[in-house]
Structure formats: structure tokens, C-alpha cells
Amino acid sequence: MPLRFAGMLSLLLGLLAPLPCPAQQEAVFPVWITCNTPAPDHVVVSWVSPTPGDSRVELRMPDGTTRRVYVPGRRKLHHVKVPLGEPHPGMYRYRVQTGKLASPWWEFQGLGGKQLRVAVVANWHRHVPLRALAADRPHLLLTAGDNIPNLHSLCGVGKRGCIEPYLKLVRAYRELFRSVIFLPALGNHDKQIRPRGRRFPPEPVYDVAAEAFCRFVELPGEERWWHLDVPWFEVRFVALDLHHTADQGTTWQSASPADRNSRQYAWYRALMAKGPRYTITLYNEKHSLVRQLAGGIWWPLLQKNTLCVAGFGHFAERAATAGVTFYNTSLRGTGDRYPDPHSQFLASQDNYLLITLDRSQRPVRLQVEIKNLEGKVLDRMFFLRSDPPRMVP
């Protein structure tokens, strides 16, 4: 066969070839869903394409209507904001496309039902099985920090904007990230651009501005600290950038400033001036240290919460004082234990939290379970804001 004819035949077959099968497409499209405003009236669908191109999302609503969003330009990292409108209880179906390469159809749950299920994890250093968490069918997946081991191992020492460790996380849990709205809080490991060592090094170990984290995930407001209100469940979720607070002012500093004059403190103080029935704040620092932080200025604000959730220690814990319940959760739950002075439950097991809000009753009831990775309930509490917390057998 003449070379010229063979080349034309090869080109023709390439044009007629179908798009890659779904399995191949899934390998090409690591996809994650977030929200970048304080109200869940939209989602941000994010993905990475193999080559630069435009961004398209097609969303099929539970009522059967379709919404399409197109963002022109050429990029490999895509963030597309898609409006949802009024809350629906059903399933949303969507797919993403860059150039001629399209993903399969995937689904996520609407937040308009009678229950809101929220899973909270922390210390995601190992890619442990999360089948039990997935079986709980959470509407939201929140974290209390340390979503990756560090940045420098995959990105190189000193690199600030590299998101490869986060993409590795998404690829390890493809189904989870493309089907659950994800809102993480920061920990020190999410910012670590150099090995820590035993002494203060001449250069910063952490990127305090969290450039890679903010590039990877679309979150409300500042992103290093954020809040999300779900008013029909009378709940507010808040994330703070608090971890290793004793290292402030050194080359080991990882968290944003938290003194009386800091932007983070001013933002939290204004936010907590008024709130819904339930407020839940997440961070990656030890609760007792946050209560004492900056001369105790954070403690009156923490007392306006129903729950505070930390990912500081590698254990499961529930503590309570001054009407606030403090949880610690960790996917790696078998490390050293540092009990809170007000600890009421403590266990050395890999664990996550499942927070359930039920609006079929009035007022809305809040339940919190500490569960191990096999799905066994280790501890269960429910809360009514007008009543003191009570244990459920």
C-alpha cells in the first residue's frame, strides 16, 4: 500500500473512531465537586484534562431539565460553577467535557430531602478503604485537616502551587469525589513544602498561604477559612485555618495568624455574632489549645457552637465543657492519645464522624456518630439546641 494512501486511511479511521470507552475516560478525568459560596445553590465541578482545552458541564436536574455551562479558553485544570436553584431531594446527573473528550454520566445527591448526612474525616495520610463511609451515602464530605501527607514528596522541595498530592487523593477515591460535595479544612500537612526536621530551618517549612490547596479546591470566601449555611436544616459549617499554633512566628509556622488583630479572628468574630440553630466549626488543632489561643480570645466564640471538630490527634474522642461538645476524628486512629481535660469518650480506632440532621421533626434534630472504618458505631449523641446534649443508648 502506498505510504500516502496509508496515511490518508489512518487519518480517516482516526476521525471515525469513537470516544474512549467509559473506563478509559474515567482514567482521564479525575473529578471532584465543591461549592464556593456560603449557600449551596450551586456546585463547582472540577477536573483535570490530559491536554489543555475548554470546559463544559452538562447537568440534568431531578425535575428532568438540563443546564449547560461553557467556559471558553484552554486549560488543563477546570473549575466550572453550575447553578442548582431551589434545593431538590433527588439525584443530579452530570458529565464534563474538554474538547471532544467527554466523561461518562455521574450522579450526586441533592440537599433538599428530609435528612442531611455529613461525613467528616481527618488525617488522610493513608488511602484506607472507605466502603462503610460510602455506604452511609453522605450528601457532604467535610474534613478537619491533613488531607494529604505533604506537598514536597511528589512536588519537590519548596514548590508551592503543585497539586499532584491532591490529585493522587482524588484518583484513589474516584467514586467518592465525583458523587459527594467536598469541603475540606486545612491542616499543616496540606501546606508542607519542606521536611520539618528537628530544629527551625532557615527557610519556611510550610506555605502559610496554602497556594496548592486554594488552586485545587474551590471553597467559599477566603478558602483558608470558610463557612457554608444550609438554612433549611438550620445548620452552619465553619472551617478555620488553625494547626500547630505554638509555631506562630517561626519557620515552622503553618497556620494563618490568629491573634486579636488577625483577619481570620475578625472574620470569625463577625460570623459568630449571629447564627442558625446549629453551628459546627472544624480545625486541625488541639481543642484545649484553641480554647486558650491568643490569651483566650477564641473561647467565647467557640462557646457559640454546638460542636467543634478537630483532626489534631490520631484517635477518636468526644469531650464536653461549657455546653459545647468537642470531637476529634482521624482515619489513622491508632497513634498517641492526648485526651482533652473534659474527655467523655476516647478510643484508639481508625474512625470518621457521621453527622445527621433530620428536619422531619421540629426543631431539627442533630445526631453525631463516631464510626470505625467497618461502620460500627463507637459513640452516638443527639442534640437539640434548647436541651442539654443527651446520650442515645
Chain segment 331-386, per-residue pLDDT in tens: 999 999 999 999 999 999 999 999 999 999 888 999 999 999 999 999 999 998 75
- Name the β-bridge partners of 93: 60, 107
| 202 and 148 fall within a common domain | yes
Count the domains in the chain. Answer: 2
Cell of 309: 471538630
Average pLDDT over residues 170-194: 97
**Quick one: pLDDT at residue 392?**
38
DSSP 153: H
| 342 and 387 fall within a common domain | yes
Provide long-range contacts, Cβ within 8 A and 24+ apart, for 287-292. Answer: 287/312, 287/319, 287/326, 287/328, 287/340, 288/340, 288/341, 289/245, 289/246, 290/242, 290/245
**Quick one: pLDDT at residue 9?**
35
| 239 and 309 fall within a common domain | yes
| 277 and 246 fall within a common domain | yes
| 75 and 140 fall within a common domain | no
| 168 and 237 fall within a common domain | yes
Domain coverage including residue 129:
114-391
Q: What is the CATH number of the domain that holds 54?
A: 2.60.40.10
Q: Which of 107, 129, 153 is the last residue of a domain?
A: 107
| 83 and 131 fall within a common domain | no
pLDDT at 22 > cutoff 50? no
DSSP 99: T
Chain segment 131-155, per-residue pLDDT in tens: 999 999 999 999 999 999 999 999 9
Chain segment 187-228, per-residue pLDDT in tens: 999 999 999 988 999 999 999 999 999 999 999 999 999 999
Place of cell 449571629: 274
Please state, in angstroms and rounded to a whole number, the distance separating the CA atoms of residues 14 and 99.
15
| 64 and 92 fall within a common domain | yes
Domain assignment of residue 5, yes or no: no
Please state, in angstroms and rounded to a whole number, the distance separating the CA atoms of residues 251 and 64.
54
Are residues 224 and 169 in contact, defined by beta-carbon separation less than 8 angstroms? Answer: no
Domain assignment of residue 224, yes or no: yes
| 263 and 126 fall within a common domain | yes
Please state, in angstroms and rounded to a whole number, the distance separating the CA atoms of residues 41 and 53.
27
Please state, in angstroms and rounded to a whole number, the distance separating the CA atoms of residues 346 and 13.
63
| 157 and 280 fall within a common domain | yes
Domain assignment of residue 301, yes or no: yes
| 60 and 207 fall within a common domain | no
Domain assignment of residue 252, yes or no: yes
The reported pTM is 0.91
Domain assignment of residue 10, yes or no: no
Place of cell 513544602: 193
| 263 and 129 fall within a common domain | yes
Q: Could you tell me what percent of the chain has a pLDDT over 90?
A: 87
CB atoms near residue 337 (< 10 Å) = 16
